[in-house]
Copies of this chain bind each other. A is one copy, B any other.
């Protein structure tokens, strides 16, 4: 706090910095031990504050989880959703795989919380569901737009949804394979899978669609 003396914004700024330290320690704890396994007491100790001081920033563990998810969403906001238009826009997903390889901790946190969110009572479930739904919707719209622009043959909405669900599934599954076995070539496997998928779309060889 000493460095805040003389500057009216000092104490406020140091409060923000402390908050960031706590969110960072919580993200590490959730990654290592999961939400249920992480302890508020240990997170406080990792930051070097008392449990009471931690509670002045976050009233409970669920509040801290919300802050970790917000932070995670900010860190990864621009990924895979770049502004390149047309079929080329899907190439942003390659950058996403490269980002994962360079930020393994963020991916590990996300995959862990996703696995935990299979449980209907998990406090991260609504966030993970919404995020997944938004990404699927965005990619379906993008694929439909590519067809409307005439870059690929016409595609029905349910076909587009099936294609995008399978593509997202492949990304998640390959990420898991890489987390379990670092010798798996996540970037290479996805690159060739996407090459193949884009070529198939150009030729209009879509899966039939389910609904």
Q: Interface SS of chain A: helix, strand, loop or mixed?
A: helix
Q: Which of A1-47 contact B (CB under 8 A)?
A: 31-38
Contacts of A181 in B (CB 8 A): 129, 132-133
User: Are the C-beta atoms of B112 and A192 separated by less than 8 Å?
Assistant: no
CA A29 – CA B33 in complex, angstroms?
15
Contacts of A185 in B (CB 8 A): 210-211
Binds B, one of A70-78, A113-121, A137-145: A113-121
28 A-B residue contacts at CB 8 Å?
A: A32-B121, A33-B36, A33-B37, A34-B34, A34-B116, A36-B36, A112-B119, A114-B115, A114-B180, A117-B180, A118-B176, A128-B180, A129-B180, A132-B180, A133-B181, A162-B189, A165-B177, A165-B189, A166-B170, A168-B177, A169-B170, A169-B172, A169-B173, A172-B173, A172-B176, A185-B210, A196-B207, A196-B208
